[in-house]
Amino acid sequence: MGNQVMSVLKKDYIYNLMLKGQRSDGRAFDEIRDIEIRTNVIEKAEGSAWIKMGGTEILVGVKLQVGTPFPDSADQGVIITSMELNPIASPDFEAGPPKENAIEMARVTDRGIRESGAIDLNKLCITEGEEVWMVFIDIHVLNNEGNIQDVSSLGAIAALLTAVVPGEREGRGEDMPMPIRDMPISVTLVDIGGEMMIDPALDEETVCDTRITIVSNQDGSISGMQKSGDGALTEEKLLKAVSLACQKASELREAHLLNI
Amino acid sequence: MEREIVIPGQLLSENKTDSGPGTYVKDGKVYSLLYGVKNAKNKISVIPFSGKYIPSSRDYVIGTVIEVTPSNWIFDIGSPYDGLLHVSEYPRRVEQEKMAEYMGIGSSALLRVKDVSSSMKVELTMRERGLRLLDKGRVIEVTPTKVPRIIGHGGSMVSMLKKETNCEVFVGQNGRIWIKGKDSEMDLLTEAIELIMKHSHTSGLTDRISLFLKGEDEFVSEKDEAVFEEDLTEDTEDESEIREDTYRKVDALLEDDD
Amino acid sequence: MSDKPEKFIDENGLRLDGRRVDEIRPMKMEIGVLSRADGSCYLEWGKNKVLAAVYGPRELHPRRLQKADSALIRYRYNMAAFSVEDRIRPGPSRRSIEISKVSREAFEPVVLTHLYPGAVIDVFAEVLQADAGTRTAAINAACMALADAGIPMKGLVSACAVGKVDGQLVLDLNKPEDNYGDADIPMAMTSDGEITLVQMDGDVTPEEFKQAIEMCKEGCRQIMELQKETLKNKFTKLEDVEISDDEEEVDVSALVESTLEPSGDDVEGEEESEDKSDDDADQEEEVEDAGEDSVDEPGPESEDDEDEDLDSVESHSDFEAVEMVEDFEESFTDVDEEDATEDEDDEEKA
């Protein structure tokens, strides 16, 4: 089947709901779906989180290895984020190397973590210029019911918060907790018929032509942004989206990350 | 109990003449092919809990146009096999270059399966009474194996749904249900259909859904409900002994309706 | 990684994890865990965590891969990058490609692929955490996902491995036994004991191999019990065992039958009856149904060929229902009828 073609009836349905200020799952425009996070679910990983937002389920695993630093940042650890839109997660995903959507979302998640300085990379240096910790963040999408982007980014930070640097196992000193300084959170909105809706469910994501993701930090600063889709946004809408995203990110942080 | 949950490979009978749909015979014995419910009436059949819609000649289906070729509309009919509607099977004469004006990509229609070849080429038609383009209303998707529950005994469920919600309803055998009415009525009907799906294995469903639509029975939370169902199933073991007067009344009504 | 233990089996005959030589690790599973998949299963076996999903039968692209007379089965065994001690690169490896192939072939003998010509049945098995025996764990989960998806199968498939440590055969290898043992023999079996997967590496005598088959059989039997239990308990848990009104069951069986033999001529001739008023048609059914009920209740199985008729009558009822809808849409007389019954309805209530 697949969802490549959405019926006009369904599009009309979503559009008409929008006109009445409603969404197909009964949420308000600025309401995020229910979130459930379980951490340390994969004992073999240095950190892990199973996260469910609405019906979207993602498993994030963090692994650390000793590697060589990049020449231009000889005293810093390395973050490598990858995402697979696994065919297990949707009839629309195919096996094979990551395609543009997966790469885009992995990179947005990666930039959020990197640019916010969420991980203190200097603390991940073992011997300057020679050995540093490489942090692999692998995002495994298990079930796609929309907004993989935000679920991934929240899952990644949750997994990082539980991660332990395996000094002992690798013979590089003692174990230490992952040096986390910030908790960047991405919040995505879609534009449907001129209204912005937060945390799009699958049918909303399919029907919309513009999507905007904003990654913001604990102090309210913004560390990443991505517009995606073949539509356009007005300046006013973009600014509104940014302020809503920052507010929602802070609520999410409060509700789901501070207790990890 | 005659009706039990069975799994693939489960021995159902020692007598090979008992083999009905959803079963197979090996060494003179009958086994289940599917995970589902055993139905031992005359022959033994197994009704699966889930499964894809496989088109069959004369089936009524609801499809969505996914492609328009020079002489065919190609419909997604919620099946592993797409359906072809040849331009000559449209109710009116349509010039080939204008096909997309009549039905473009994303359009939905009520269709009937005209023929299915052995290689599963599915030919559709709209040249029969009632078949047409659907430009209003909603389409709800349900598990195709549960379509008979939506239709109900002799159509009782579907006529009750129509009556109680004032909606037009068309149940496609491919698990797509088209409904049309006022928004509030469609919302209620959608909710009722979701309930039917969720409780499709319980008894007295038509009556309960009817009460729900009348606002007399709120389907309560899962926990309370389990208790409720237990009571209900006990009492409906024998259909003639329906516990509450209301049930009897509704039942009588539905019979009249038929 | 731990070094090779001195002894795998202690003086009491117990293994490093406290199991006897013929004991499998604790296993639990749950079906229907993924909303997008047609069938799914999450399975934990020891420290293995596996998620399997089935999509299909569905359309297969590109066309040249299609088989004219049956469905293609694709099986993808994939390990999550973080599933093992040392991170592995995502994507297929030579190992995972081989495992995918033999695992697919473990199912091909039981799945009735010829019912879905040209289509594909995709089976995805994701190893989220690996701890020896992942291919057999994946097969056990995949089998459950296939059943959950309503795919017709001659029987379930169960799998487990036998290995050799300290010169002794042991069932269901744990990680150290797998790493340092002398042999590893994973097998998959159908419910009637046919072997659909067997691989072996290491060193065993023919006698030991014979014994290994027996041990595997016993392991698979236990696993199959768990699989059965999981499937059967899915609905009892929801208090949903009582399966309702007989008539509707027969409706469905007509559908299933058309699924299994896509000829569908049982419906032919219904067109003519279209002119008949709905009332007549439905009454006719009513009588038939009543007859069925009485057959069903006292229990004695009538061994005649009635069921063909019943099926046609019942599929008839599907069609009648559909037709009623059409009439309703087409003419206002029907609407009036509906209103009339509604009035009666109100009267009754009063």
Q: For B196-217, how does the pLDDT look when each residue is reduced to its tens digit (9 = 90+)?
A: 888 877 777 888 888 888 877 6
Secondary structure of A114-174 as H, E, C letters? HHCCCECHHHHEEECCCEEEEEEEEEEEEECCCCHHHHHHHHHHHHHHHCEECCCCCCCCC
Peptide bond into C57 cis (omega under 30): yes
Give me the phi and psi of C18, to 5 degrees please: 85, 5
Does C158 lie in the same domain as C74? yes
| Confidence tier at A4 by pLDDT (50, 70, 90) | low
pLDDT of residue C177: 94
3-state secondary structure at position C38: coil
For the ranges A113-127, B141-155, C280-294, which has the lowest average pLDDT?
Answer: C280-294
Chain C CA closest to residue A134: C87
pLDDT of residue B246: 33
Chain C hits for A91, CB-CB cut-off 8 Å, are: 36, 55, 58
Contact C252, B148 (CB under 8 A): yes
**Which chains does C contact via 3+ CB–CB distances below 8 A?**
A, B
**Which chains does B contact via 3+ CB–CB distances below 8 A?**
A, C
For residue C216, is it within any domain? yes
In this complex, which of B8, B168, B173 lies closest to C153 when CB atoms are compared?
B8
pLDDT of residue C348: 40
pLDDT of residue B248: 38
In this complex, which of C78, C82, C90 lies closest to A45 when CB atoms are compared?
C82
**A123 has pLDDT over 50:** yes
For the ranges B187-196, C51-60, C307-316, which has the lowest average pLDDT?
Answer: C307-316
Give the mean pLDDT of chain C. 75
**Mean pLDDT throughout C95-116?**
96
- The CATH number of the structural domain formed by A29-257 is 3.30.230.70
Q: Show which of C236, C265, C288 is a domain's final residue.
A: C236
Chain C hits for A62, CB-CB cut-off 8 Å, are: 82
Q: Show which of C217, C236, C255 is a domain's final residue.
A: C236
In this complex, which of C36, C59, C87 lies closest to A89 when CB atoms are compared?
C36
Does C73 lie in the same domain as C194? yes
Q: What count of CB pairs under 8 Å joins B to C?
A: 283
What b/e sequence results for B34-60 when a residue is b if at least 16 CB atoms lie within 10 Å of its CB, and e otherwise? bbbbbbbbbbbbbbbbbbbbbbbbbbb
Chain C hits for A145, CB-CB cut-off 8 Å, are: 35-36
For residue C61, is it within any domain? yes
Q: Do A1 and B107 lie within an 8 Å CB cutoff?
A: no
Q: Do A7 and B105 lie within an 8 Å CB cutoff?
A: no
Chain C CA closest to residue B61: C322
pLDDT of residue B197: 87
Contact A101, A85 (CB under 8 A): yes
Question: Smallest CA–CA separation between A9 and chain B, in Å?
Answer: 6
Q: What count of CB pairs under 8 Å joins A to C?
A: 89
Interface of A with C (CB under 8 A): 1, 41-45, 48, 55, 57, 59, 61-63, 65, 82, 84, 86-91, 95, 97, 136, 138, 140, 142-145
Does C251 lie in the same domain as C224? no
Q: Do C35 and A145 lie within an 8 Å CB cutoff?
A: yes
Chain B CA closest to residue C328: B168
Does C280 lie in the same domain as C210? no
pLDDT of residue B158: 87
3-state secondary structure at position C102: helix
Does C213 lie in the same domain as C342? no
Chain A hits for B107, CB-CB cut-off 8 Å, are: 7-8
Per DSSP, chain B holds a count of helices (H) and strands (E) of 7, 15
Selected residues 92-131 of chain B with any CB under 8 Å from a CB in chain C: 113, 116, 118-120, 129-130
Does C336 lie in the same domain as C216? no
Q: Do C87 and A59 lie within an 8 Å CB cutoff?
A: no
In this complex, which of A1, A7, A16 lies closest to B108 when CB atoms are compared?
A7
In this complex, which of A1, A5, A9 lies closest to B134 when CB atoms are compared?
A9
Q: Does B82 touch chain C (CB under 8 A)?
A: yes
Give me the phi and psi of B16, to 5 degrees please: -65, -20
Torsion of CA A237, A242, A245, A247, to 10 degrees: -110
**Would you kindly state where each structural domain of chain B is located, as residue ranges?**
5-48, 60-134, 138-257
pLDDT of residue A130: 95
**Mean pLDDT throughout C41-58?**
97
Helical H segments across C182-305, by residue range: 206-236, 246-260, 278-296
Q: Does C96 touch chain B (CB under 8 A)?
A: no
Beta bridge partners of A53: A35, A56
Does C60 lie in the same domain as C116? yes
pLDDT of residue C331: 32
In this complex, which of C51, C84, C90 lies closest to A142 when CB atoms are compared?
C51
**Mean pLDDT throughout C331-336?**
33
Chain C hits for B17, CB-CB cut-off 8 Å, are: 303
A192 or B154, which is more confident: A192
For the ranges B31-35, B83-87, C323-327, which has the lowest average pLDDT?
Answer: C323-327
pLDDT tens digits, B122-149: 999 999 888 999 999 999 999 998 898 8
Question: Smallest CA–CA separation between C316 and chain A, in Å?
Answer: 28
What's the total number of domains in chain C?
Answer: 2
Q: Do C322 and B57 lie within an 8 Å CB cutoff?
A: no
Does C253 lie in the same domain as C106? no
pLDDT tens digits, A216-238: 999 999 999 999 999 999 999 99
| Confidence tier at C267 by pLDDT (50, 70, 90) | very low
* Residue B61 CB-half CA count within 13 A: 30
Chain B hits for A5, CB-CB cut-off 8 Å, are: 64-66, 76, 105-106
Output the CA–CA distances (angstroms, integers) from residue A80 to A106, A107, A217, in the order listed.
Answer: 10, 9, 20
For residue C259, is it within any domain? yes
In this prediction the ipTM stands at: 0.91
Torsion of CA B218, B219, B221, B223, to 10 degrees: 120
Chain B hits for C196, CB-CB cut-off 8 Å, are: none
Q: CA B55, B58, B59, B65 torsion: positive or negative?
A: positive
**Mean pLDDT throughout B236-250?**
34
**Mean pLDDT throughout C220-239?**
84
Q: Do A140 and C84 lie within an 8 Å CB cutoff?
A: no
Give the sheet arrangement for strand B23-26, strand by strand: B11-13, B29-32, B23-26
Give the mean pLDDT of chain A. 93
**Mean pLDDT throughout A39-64?**
97
CATH of B5-48, one of 1.10.1660.10, 2.40.50.100, 2.60.120.380, 1.10.10.10: 2.40.50.100
Does C158 lie in the same domain as C78? yes
Q: What is the CATH number of the domain that holds C181?
A: 3.30.230.70
Structure tokens that stand for C229 in this block: 């239990």
pTM: 0.82
Output the CA–CA distances (angstroms, integers) from residue B155 to A32, A193, C187, in the order listed.
Answer: 41, 40, 50
CATH of B60-134, one of 3.40.640.10, 3.40.50.720, 2.40.50.140, 2.40.110.10: 2.40.50.140
Peptide bond into C62 cis (omega under 30): yes
pLDDT tens digits, C169-182: 999 999 999 999 99
Please choose, from the candidates C126, C129, C130, C120, the residue with its C-alpha nearest in 3D space to the C-alpha of residue C142.
Answer: C126
- Calpha distance A29→A240 (Å, rounded): 13
**Which chains does A contact via 3+ CB–CB distances below 8 A?**
B, C
Please choose, from the candidates A232, A242, A193, the residue with its C-alpha nearest in 3D space to the C-alpha of residue A210.
Answer: A232
Question: Smallest CA–CA separation between C26 and chain B, in Å?
Answer: 22
Q: At what angle do helices C246-260 and C306-330 cross, to 10 degrees?
A: 100
**C306 has pLDDT over 90:** no
Does C219 lie in the same domain as C318? no
Structure tokens that stand for B201 in this block: 């294995």
Q: Give every CB contact of residue B61 below 8 A, 6+ residues apart in sequence.
A: B53, B55, B77, B78, B83, B110, B111, B112, B113, B124, B172, B173, B174, B176
Chain A CA closest to residue B78: A1
Per DSSP, chain C holds a count of helices (H) and strands (E) of 8, 10
Give the mean pLDDT of chain B. 82
Q: Do B106 and A13 lie within an 8 Å CB cutoff?
A: no
- Calpha distance C136→C45 (Å, rounded): 10
What is the distance in angstroms between the CA of the first residue and the CA of the last residue of chain B? 30
Contact C126, A140 (CB under 8 A): yes
Chain B hits for A1, CB-CB cut-off 8 Å, are: 76, 78
pLDDT of residue C301: 37
In this complex, which of C35, C51, C90 lies closest to A84 when CB atoms are compared?
C90
Chain B CA closest to residue C330: B130
Task: Show the domain range for C196.
Answer: 27-236
pLDDT of residue B198: 84
**C77 has pLDDT over 60:** yes
Question: Best of B47, B123, B216, B246 to disrupt the C interface by mutation (most C CBs within 10 Å)?
Answer: B47
In this complex, which of A44, A86, A95 lies closest to C129 when CB atoms are compared?
A44
**C341 has pLDDT over 60:** no
pLDDT tens digits, B40-69: 878 899 989 999 999 999 999 999 999 999
**C288 has pLDDT over 80:** no
| Confidence tier at B3 by pLDDT (50, 70, 90) | low
Q: Do B108 and A9 lie within an 8 Å CB cutoff?
A: yes
Contact B38, B31 (CB under 8 A): no
Do the domains spanning B5-48 and B60-134 agree at the CATH topology level? yes
Beta bridge partners of A190: A197, A211
- Calpha distance B182→C172 (Å, rounded): 60
**C338 has pLDDT over 50:** no
Chain B CA closest to residue C69: B119
**Mean pLDDT throughout B79-100?**
94
pLDDT of residue C277: 38
For the ranges A81-85, A161-165, C218-222, which has the lowest average pLDDT?
Answer: A81-85
What is the distance in angstroms between the CA of the first residue and the CA of the last residue of chain A? 40
pLDDT of residue C305: 37
C255 or A220, which is more confident: A220
Q: Do B64 and A7 lie within an 8 Å CB cutoff?
A: yes
Amino acid B248 reads R
Structure tokens that stand for B183 in this block: 């928004």
What is the distance in angstroms between the CA of the first residue and the CA of the last residue of chain C? 79
pLDDT tens digits, C194-203: 999 999 999 9
| Confidence tier at A97 by pLDDT (50, 70, 90) | confident
Interface of B with A (CB under 8 A): 64-66, 76, 78, 104-108, 134-139, 183
Own/partner contacts of B97-105, CB < 8 Å, gap of 24 or more, are B99/B68, B99/B73, B100/B68, B102/B133, B103/B65, B103/B68, B103/B73, B103/B133, B104/A8, B104/B65, B104/B68, B105/A5, B105/B65, B105/B66, B105/B67, B105/B68
pLDDT of residue B210: 85
In this complex, which of A43, A140, A143 lies closest to C80 when CB atoms are compared?
A140
Q: Show which of C236, C254, C278 is a domain's final residue.
A: C236
* Neighbour tally for A87: CB within 10 Å: 22
- Calpha distance A232→A209 (Å, rounded): 8
- The CATH number of the structural domain formed by B138-257 is 3.30.1370.10
- Calpha distance B93→B106 (Å, rounded): 21
Q: Do C149 and B51 lie within an 8 Å CB cutoff?
A: yes
pLDDT of residue C22: 94
pLDDT of residue C234: 84
In this complex, which of B42, B129, B226 lies closest to C306 when CB atoms are compared?
B42
Question: Best of C49, C60, C87 to disrupt the A interface by mutation (most A CBs within 10 Å)?
Answer: C87
